[in-house]
C-alpha cells in the first residue's frame, strides 16, 4: 500500500482530495501556485513544499489536479521546476515513478503527456473525477474515478484510488479516462440545457416547476439534472458554485468532446449544437459562475424566475 504521495494543484477539489488522503493515514506533500491555496492545504495537514520538482523529489506517486491539460503540461514539463525534470535516472533513487492526473484533460494532449512521461521513465494514469457533490464528495471519499491506465499500473495504484473514489471505473489504456470524462460532460451539458428549456417552457405555461421536475424524475425523461441539480439547487434559486462547477470548465470539456469526435470522424451534430449553446451562455454571464446559471439564463430570456434566491 502506498503510504506517501505528492499532490500538485490544491484548489477547492484538489485540497479536498489531498485532505481525504491525509485523513486516511497517507502522508501528502503538496504544492500550488497560489500562496493562499498552499496555506489552506497546510492547515488541512498537507506538507507544503516549494515547487512541483520538490514534490517529485520526495514522492514516487504524484497526483496532479489542474483546470486543463495546458496547466498539466506546464506542471510536468517546465524545464526548471516540472515534475518530469526529476524523472528518469533520479526516479531510480527514490523520486517520482508515476503520475495520477485527476484533471478533466484534453484527449488530444494526453497522448503527448503519455509519450513524454514514458521517455522520462514515469508511468501515467489519467483519472478524472465525476459523480455528485464536488469537494464534499471528495472529503467523504465518494468520488467516481474514470481511469485510463494499463492493468498493471491500475493494480499498483488501486488501493490509494479506492481511498478517494467509491466507484473506480477502468476504461482502458492511458488516455481513456479523459475521453470518457469529456464525453460524459457533454452529456451533462445537454441535460442542463434541455432540462432548462423544458422547465422554463412549463413555467411559461403556468405549471409548477417543482411538480413538473418531480413528475419527469418518475418518467422516462429523468436525468441527473431532474434528479439532483434542479430540485436541490435551481428550483431553490441557488446558482452558487456549490450547485455545479465553473462554466468555463464545462465549456472546455464540451469543446474537447466535439473536437475528439471530429478527429475520429464520428458524427456529432447535436453535440456541436450543445457545445455552442454552452459557449453562448458563458459569453453572456461569465465563465467563473456555476454551470447551473445556464438555467437562470433561460429563465431570464423567458421572463420567469427560479426560487427566492434568484436575483
Residues with catalytic roles: 181
**H-assigned helices in 24-122:** 35-43, 52-58, 69-77, 107-119
How many other CB atoms are found less than 10 A from the CB of residue 90?
16
Q: How far is CA 218 from CA 222, 223, 231, 291, in A?
A: 7, 10, 13, 24
Residue 74 phi, psi dihedral angles, 5° rounding:
-70, -45
Q: Is 144 helix (H, G, I), strand (E, B) or coil?
A: strand
Q: What is the dihedral of CA 246, 198, 225, 301, to 10 degrees?
A: 20
How many other CB atoms are found less than 10 A from the CB of residue 217?
16
CA 182, CA 266: separation in Å to the nearest integer? 15
Look at the alpha carbons of 39, 106, 171, 249 in this order and tell me if their dihedral is positive or negative: positive
CA 145, CA 171: separation in Å to the nearest integer? 10
Q: Is 26 helix (H, G, I), strand (E, B) or coil?
A: coil
Q: Which three cell numbers stand for residue 31?
A: 504544492
Please identify which residue in the block is written with the cell numbers 465563465: 287
How many other CB atoms are found less than 10 A from the CB of residue 50?
10
Residues 63 and 157: beta-carbon distance below 8 Å? no
Q: Which of 103, 111, 138 is nearest to 19 (CA)?
A: 138
Number of H helices, E strands in the chain: 14, 9
Amino acid at each position: 500500500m502506498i503510504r506517501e504521495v505528492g499532490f500538485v494543484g490544491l484548489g477547492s477539489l484538489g485540497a479536498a482530495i489531498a485532505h481525504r488522503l491525509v485523513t486516511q493515514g497517507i502522508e501528502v506533500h503538496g504544492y500550488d501556485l497560489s500562496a493562499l491555496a498552499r496555506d489552506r492545504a497546510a492547515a488541512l495537514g498537507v506538507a507544503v513544499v516549494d515547487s512541483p520538482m520538490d514534490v517529485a523529489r520526495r514522492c514516487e506517486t504524484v497526483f496532479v489536479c489542474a483546470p486543463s491539460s495546458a496547466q498539466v503540461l506546464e506542471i510536468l514539463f517546465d524545464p526548471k521546476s516540472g515534475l518530469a525534470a526529476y524523472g528518469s535516472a533520479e526516479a531510480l533513487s527514490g523520486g517520482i515513478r508515476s503520475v495520477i492526473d485527476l484533471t478533466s484533460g484534453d484527449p488530444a494532449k494526453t497522448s503527448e503527456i503519455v509519450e513524454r512521461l514514458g521517455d522520462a521513465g514515469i508511468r501515467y494514469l489519467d483519472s478524472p473525477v465525476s459523480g455528485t457533490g464536488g469537494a464534499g464528495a471528495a472529503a467523504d471519499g465518494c468520488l467516481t474515478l474514470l481511469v485510463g491506465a494499463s492493468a498493471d499500473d491500475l493494480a499498483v495504484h488501486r488501493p490509494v484510488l479506492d481511498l478517494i473514489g467509491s466507484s473506480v471505473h477502468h476504461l482502458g489504456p492511458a488516455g481513456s479516462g479523459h475521453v470518457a470524462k469529456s464525453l460524459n460532460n457533454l452529456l451533462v451539458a445537454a441535460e442542463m440545457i434541455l432540462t432548462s428549456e423544458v422547465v422554463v417552457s412549463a413555467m411559461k405555461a403556468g405549471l409548477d416547476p417543482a411538480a413538473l421536475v418531480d413528475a419527469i424524475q418518475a418518467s422516462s425523461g429523468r436525468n441527473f439534472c431532474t434528479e439532483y441539480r434542479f430540485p436541490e439547487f435551481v428550483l431553490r434559486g441557488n446558482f452558487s458554485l456549490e450547485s455545479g462547477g465553473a462554466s468555463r470548465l464545462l465549456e472546455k470539456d464540451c469543446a474537447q468532446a466535439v473536437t475528439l469526435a471530429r478527429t475520429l470522424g464520428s458524427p456529432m451534430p447535436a453535440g456541436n449544437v450543445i457545445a455552442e449553446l454552452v459557449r453562448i451562455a458563458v459569453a453572456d454571464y461569465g465563465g467563473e459562475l456555476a454551470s447551473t446559471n445556464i438555467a437562470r439564463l433561460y429563465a431570464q430570456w423567458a421572463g420567469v424566475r427560479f426560487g427566492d434566491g434568484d436575483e
